Amino acid sequence: MAPILQLKGITKRFPGVLANDHIDLTLNQGEILALLGENGAGKTTLMNILYGLYQPDEGEILVNEQKVIINSPTDAINTGIGMVHQHFMLIPVFTVTENVMLGSEPVKMGDFLDRPKTSARIHEISQQYKLEVNPNDYVKDLPVGVQQRVEIIKLLYREANILIFDEPTAVLTPQEADDLFSIMRSLVKQGKSIIFITHKLREVLDVADRIMVIRRGAVVGEADPKIADKNKLAEMMVGREVNLVVEKEFKEPGEVVLSVKDLVVANQFKQVMVDHVSFDVHAGQILGIAGVQGNGQTELVEAITGLDKSASGKILFKNEDITNCTPRKITEVGSAHVPEDRQADGLVLTFPVAENLVLCTYYKEPFAKGVVLQYDKILENSEKLISDFDIRTPSSLTPVGSLSGGNQQKVIIARELSRPIQLLVASQPTRGLDVGSIEYIHKRIVQKRDEGCAVLLVSPELDEVIELSDRIAVMYRGKIIAIVDAGNVTKETLGLLMAGIIPEKIEKEQGEKVVEITF
C-alpha cells in the first residue's frame, strides 16, 4: 500500500544550528510511528514544518503521493494533518464546544453560532472514538487528560487523517497516559495514522508500530518495538552509553529539618491549592513529592520558600517558625531553592554568570563592603564555581541567558549548593534537560543528601521521584494523600495515588507502616 505521508530530504537551518538535516520519513496508513529523540534533537522542528509553522529550506512533503506545500496551519488542516500540541492550544475560558468549533464554526441566520450542531458532532465523535467529554464544560475546569481529549476531538472535527502528537504524555499521570495509548490504538484501527513524538523509551515500546530515532537533526536509525531493547534505544538516542539508574546508598535519617504542619495556601482567587498538608523532612533524607502538575506542588514550594503567603498552618525550620517570612530570611537560616521555572524565578537572564552566582549573597562579606560590591571577589567566586560545577560558559561575564538550558540550571545548582545549607527545596530540577545534564544534577542532589542535607524534591516525572527519593509523598488536588517508603512501592501504586485513588490493599501488599494514609 502506498504511504499516506512522505517527507523527502527535509532540511531546516536556524542561525548557527542545523535543526533538520535531510530527514526522510514515511508514514503508512493505520500505523503509529514513534519519533524518538532527546530534547533539541529536531523532532519538534520537523513537526512544525509539517504543520506549516516553519518552512523547510530544502526537501518536499507528499501526502497520498501528491506533492503539497504547507504554508500555514490552515493549509495543514486542509490537507488532513492535525497536531496535538505539547502546550495545548485551548482557550481556558471557553467551553469545550466553543474550543472545538473555533475557526470552522457552523452558523445560522448570518453569523449566529450554532452551538447545538457542534455539540451533537462532538457527541458523535466521542462515541465513535471513546473520547468521553461534556461539550458544555469550561476547559479551565477540566483535568489535563480531558483537555487533551478536547485537542484530539478538535482534529477529528476537522477530519484530520494524519495526527501528530507532540510529547503528549508530559502532563499526564501514568494511568491517563495508558488511556491515551488505548485512544491512539482505537484511532489507527479506524483508519487514522499517527506520528508520536517522545523521548520516553517505555512509551515507544508500549504503543508504537515502528520507531524512528533522531539525533542532532538527523535520522540515526529505525527500530521495531517488538524486538528493540531499552538500553540500545537510549544509546541510539544519546549517542553514548547511558547510566539510567542513580546510585544511592541507604542512609539513616537524622533530625527533623523542615516540618510543615497543617499548611493551607490559596491562590489569588482564594481557591485552596494546598489543603491542610503536613509532613517532615529529615536531615540526610530526600522526600519526593509526586503528583500530576497543578495539584498544588507549585503553591506548596512557594509557601515554604517565602514566595507566597500561607492562609493557615505552620512551617518550621529546625523548630524555628519561618511561616510567612521573607525569602531572604528563609535563605539566611540555611535553605536553598531550585525553582521550577529557572528562567523566570531562578536567574536574571541579562545579568552575567558571575552576578547570577551571588544573587543570594551579594550583600554580604566578602562580596560587598558596605554598599559597594567587591567585583574581584565576585569574579573569583564565579571562576571557582564554574570549574567546580562544570558550567560550560565562554566566561564569567557572559549573560546567563545565552547559555544552554542545562548550563543555566548548573548555574542555579552551583549558587544554591555552594552555600552551607541544611535544606534544599528542588522543584523540577531537571525539567527540559538532556540526559547528560540530568545524570549530573541527580548526582549532585544525592551528594548533598549524603552530606546530611534535607532535600524536598518536587517533580511530575515519576521515574525521577522514585529513583532519587527515600520517601515519597503523593499530592492530589492540594492534599497529600499518602506518604510511602520509596524502597518498596510500585510505579502502578504511585500512579493510582496520583490519580487520587487509594488502592484498598495497599497496606497488606506492602507490609506494615510502609504507607501512611494521611487522609
Partner 1 sequence: MTTTTAPSTAVIQRARISDISRTRRISTGVIEILVAVFIAFVFARTLQPDMFTKFVMTPGGITVGSMGDWVIRSQFTLYLLAALCVVIGAFQLIKGFGKFTNLMVGFVFLFLIFSFLTWQAAGKSLNLAGMLSSSVQLAVPITLGAFSGILCERAGVVNIAIEGMMLMSAMVGALMGSITDSAWLGLFFGVLSSVLLAALHAVLSIKYKIDQIISGTVINMFSAGMTAFLSQKFLQTRQELNNPAMFTRVEIPGLAEIPLLGPIFFNTNFFVYLMFALLIVIQVALFSTRWGLRMRSVGEHPKAADTLGINVIKTRYMAVLLGGLVAGLGGAFFTLGSVGRFDEGMTAGKGFIGLAAMIFGNYTPVGALGAGILFGFADSIGSKLSLLGSTIPSTLMSTAPYIITMIVLAGFVGKGHVPAADGVAYTKE
- Sites of contact with partner 1 (CB under 8 A): 48, 51, 53-54, 72-74, 77, 83, 85, 89-94, 98, 101-105, 107, 111-113, 132-134, 137, 141-143, 145-146, 175-176, 178-179, 264, 266, 268-273, 275, 311, 477-478, 496, 499-501
What would the DSSP string read from start to end of 135-150? TTSBGGGS-HHHHHHH
Q: Which is nearer to partner 1, 108 or 364 (CB)?
A: 108
Q: Which is nearer to partner 1, 37 or 143 (CB)?
A: 143
Which spans in 287-337 are helix H?
Answer: 297-304, 327-332
Closest distance to partner 1 from the beta carbon of 126 (Å): 10
Q: Which is nearer to partner 1, 146 or 373 (CB)?
A: 146
Closest distance to partner 1 from the beta carbon of 14 (Å): 12
Q: What letters, b where the CB count within 10 A reaches 16 and e where it falls short, cover 3-30?
A: bbbbbeebbbeeeeeebbbebebbbebb
Q: Report the candidate in 199, 287, 276, 191 with the shortest Cα–Cα distance to residue 244.
A: 199
Q: Which is nearer to partner 1, 94 or 351 (CB)?
A: 94
Q: Which is nearer to partner 1, 63 or 83 (CB)?
A: 83
Contacts of 447 (CB under 8 A, 6+ apart): none
Closest distance to partner 1 from the beta carbon of 471 (Å): 24
Closest distance to partner 1 from the beta carbon of 511 (Å): 23
Q: Which is nearer to partner 1, 295 or 305 (CB)?
A: 295
Instruction: Dihedral sign for Cα 386, 409, 491, 33, please.
Output: negative
Closest distance to partner 1 from the beta carbon of 114 (Å): 9
* Ramachandran angles phi, psi of 486, nearest 5°: -70, -25
Q: Which is nearer to partner 1, 72 or 343 (CB)?
A: 72
What would the DSSP string read from start to end of 218-235? EEEEEE-TTT--HHHHHH
Looking up cell 498544588 gives 296
Closest distance to partner 1 from the beta carbon of 55 (Å): 11
Q: Which is nearer to partner 1, 145 or 436 (CB)?
A: 145
CA dist., res. 49 & res. 254, Å (int): 54
Closest distance to partner 1 from the beta carbon of 417 (Å): 35
Q: Which is nearer to partner 1, 64 or 134 (CB)?
A: 134
Q: Are the CB atoms for 290 and 459 separated by under 8 Å?
A: yes
Q: Which is nearer to partner 1, 66 or 268 (CB)?
A: 268
Contacts of 216 (CB under 8 A, 6+ apart): 18, 21, 41, 42, 239
Closest distance to partner 1 from the beta carbon of 203 (Å): 17
Amino acid present at 207: V
Closest distance to partner 1 from the beta carbon of 272 (Å): 4
Closest distance to partner 1 from the beta carbon of 92 (Å): 8
Q: SS in 3 state form for 408-449?
A: HHHHHHHHHHCCCCCEEEEECCCCCCCHHHHHHHHHHHHHHH
Contacts of 57 (CB under 8 A, 6+ apart): 11, 12, 13
Q: Are the CB atoms for 35 and 214 separated by under 8 Å?
A: yes
Distances (CA, A) of 282 to 241, 255, 314, 324: 35, 5, 17, 21
CA dist., res. 489 & res. 2, Å (int): 47
Question: Helix 230-238 to helix 435-450 angle, to the nearest 10 degrees?
Answer: 110
Q: Which is nearer to partner 1, 133 or 228 (CB)?
A: 133
Centroid of chain to Cα 421: 27
Centroid of chain to Cα 497: 19
Closest distance to partner 1 from the beta carbon of 229 (Å): 28
